[in-house]
A = this chain, B = another copy of it.
Amino acid sequence: MSWLDEVKFDEAGLIPAIAQDWKTGRILMVAWMNRESLHETVATRKGVYWSRSRQKLWRKGEESGNTQQVHEVRIDCDADVVLLKIEQNGGVACHTGRESCFFRLLNGNDDRAQWEITDEVLQDPEHMYK
């Protein structure tokens, strides 16, 4: 029995993967993986996901150059979420040009609460993708 057989992919054959900065602990992004992308991630130690919109393997950084070096791979108790500790090349994980995709913070705790942007754009998104 392979380690990969213990991973529980959903009915679409996918599992969510959290990418966390290996040094600061900041959560940088969440994306999906299929069996092939998880296998390739572990074999190459690079972040490889499954793009649901494009329906193909997504080798993170293949266009932007912002590849991910994978230092640690974890799985949760139900084996249905993957956690990667990564080093984000270029310091930009989000397609908006920010360090993290979680750049919006809820300010308030009632119906008037608002999502506020806490992160600046570090890289022009127009120049990230060829």
Contact = CB atoms under 8 A, between A and B. Distances in A.
Given A30-B18, A30-B81, A109-B42, A3 B114 contact: yes
Q: How many copies does the complex hold?
A: 2
A47 to B, nearest CB: 14
Contacts of A114: 3
Interface string A64-78: 000000001111111
A105 B83 CA distance: 9
A77 B105 contact: no
Interface of A: 2-3, 6, 16, 18, 20, 24-27, 29-30, 42-43, 45, 72-78, 81, 83, 94-96, 98, 101-106, 108-111, 113-115
